[in-house]
A and B are shown apart, each in its own frame.
Chain A
Amino acid sequence: MSCETGYFSGLSDVICKLGKINGFMLTDKGTTFTDLTFVTESTHHVGIASVTTASRTSMVYPVLNWENTTDDVTIQTSNLGFKDTDGKPMPSALAHIDVSACDYQTLKDLEGKLFDVILFTDEGKQLGTRKTINSVKGFRAKIAFKYGLPPSDNGQLQFAVYIFFRATDEFENVVYETPSYSFSDLVDFVPVGLNVKVTTAYTSGSGQVTVKVTKRSTGVGLTGLVAADFEVLESNGSAPVSTTVATDSGLGVYVLTVHEDVGGSPTALDVGEYFVMQVSDEDSGPTYLTYQSNVIKETVLA
C-alpha cells in the first residue's frame, strides 16, 4: 500500500494497446541499459551474438503461447463487511516457446538461474523496468522448464518455460518503448544452433578427444572449423586450458588436442581434470557468431 499523497495525472490523447507477449529476452542478472541503448538494435546484436564470450549477455525466445499465471489479488473482508486488498501477488507466467526439441534440451543449464527478462509484444512494444533516472533493465526472474512426454492435445504447447518474477515493484515502474526494430529482427541475430558430442573420450596419454559437430535438427556435419572455434569455457586444469590443435577429419568429425599450461609448456590434462567446451563459428569480421553449439563437459577418466 502506498502511503504517499496521490495526484491525478491526466489521460493520453491516443489510446495505445500493449498487445500480447510474443517473445522475451533473457539478459544476465544485473544487465542494464540506458534509455537509448535499451532500444538500439546493435546493442542487442552484440548481447546475442558477439564473438566475445563475455559480451554475450542475452538471448531471445519467440513465444507461441503466453499465459499470465499471476495469482489473483487477495481480497479480505472484515467482520463488518469492509473489503480491501491484502498484499501484492508476485507476477509469474507460463510461456511456450517456438524452438526445436534439441534447442529446448540445451536450456536446462539455465534452470534456477536469475535473469533480467525483457518482454516484447505483438504491438511492437518492448517492456523493461526503470532502475535509475537513466538506467533501464529487465524484470528480475527465475526460470524453470518442464521435461516429459509430448502433449497429447495441442502440439504447440510442447516446450514450456515458467517465468517466476521476483519483484512486484519492478512492474510499478514499467518502461514502455516502441523500438524501430521488430522482435523477429532480434531473433535473426541468434546464431544457428550446432550439436557437439564426444565420440572418443579424452585420454591423458594422447591429450586428444574426438568430437562430432552437426547442424542442430538436420544433423549435417559442419566442416571447416579451426582450433580457436573450440573454446574451453571452464576447466579445473592449470590455466590457460585451450584447444591447441584441431584436425578436420570431414563430415563434422574433429580430433582436438586440449592442453593445460604446466610451467609454461602445453601439457595434456591429468586424470580427474575436466574441461567445458563450446563450439562456434563467426562471420568474416569477425564481429558476430554465425554458429553456436551446446556446451559439453569432458572429464579425463584415463
Chain B
Amino acid sequence: MKTDINPVMAKLPFSKFEKWFKKNIKDGELSAKDWYVKLGGVLPKKKED
C-alpha cells in the first residue's frame, strides 16, 4: 500500500490542507506538514512575539 497525494493539493492554504489531510489520509507515515512541503507548498511563517 503506497499513498500518493496530488501536488495540486499544495495550492490550498496550509490550514485547509491540514484539515483535509486529517480527514482523508489514514496511514500517517508523513505528517500533514511534511506532505505539504513535499508537494511544493510553503508553510505559513510563525507570528513573532
B25 at the interface (CB under 8 A from A): yes
Known: A227-B6, A228-B6, A242-B6. A248 touches B16 (CB 8 A): no
Encode contact with A along B18-29: 1 for CB under 8 Å, 0 otherwise: 011000110100
Classify the interface of chain B: helix, strand, loop or mixed.
mixed
| A240-284 contacts to B (CB < 8 Å) | 240, 242-250, 257, 264-266
Encode contact with B along A204-232: 1 for CB under 8 Å, 0 otherwise: 00010000000000000000001110000
Contact A264 B12 (CB under 8 A): yes
Chain B residues contacting A246 (CB-CB under 8 Å) are 3-4, 6
Chain B residues contacting A226 (CB-CB under 8 Å) are 4, 6
Chain A residues contacting B9 (CB-CB under 8 Å) are 244, 266
How far is it, in angstroms, between the C-alpha of A250 and the C-alpha of B20 when the chains are bound? 25
How far is it, in angstroms, between the C-alpha of A243 and the C-alpha of B9 when the chains are bound? 10
- B37 → A minimal CB distance (Å): 17
| B1-49 contacts to A (CB < 8 Å) | 1-9, 12, 16, 19-20, 24-25, 27
- B18 → A minimal CB distance (Å): 12
Known: A245-B25, A249-B1. A265 touches B20 (CB 8 A): yes
Contact B6 A265 (CB under 8 A): no
Chain A residues contacting B27 (CB-CB under 8 Å) are 247
How far is it, in angstroms, between the C-alpha of A243 and the C-alpha of B24 when the chains are bound? 12
Known: A266-B9, A266-B12. A247 touches B24 (CB 8 A): no
Across the two chains, which residue of chain B brings its CB closest to A223? Answer: B2
- B38 → A minimal CB distance (Å): 12
How far is it, in angstroms, between the C-alpha of A227 and the C-alpha of B2 when the chains are bound? 11
Contact B1 A245 (CB under 8 A): no
Contact of A245 among B5, B12, B16, B19 (CB under 8 A): B5
How far is it, in angstroms, between the C-alpha of A30 and the C-alpha of B30 when the chains are bound? 48
Which residues of A are in contact with B by a Cβ distance under 8 Å? 207, 226-228, 240, 242-250, 257, 264-266
Which residues of B are in contact with A by a Cβ distance under 8 Å? 1-9, 12, 16, 19-20, 24-25, 27
5 new A-B contacts, CB < 8 A, other than A247-B27, A248-B1, A266-B20, are A244-B20, A247-B3, A247-B4, A250-B1, A265-B16
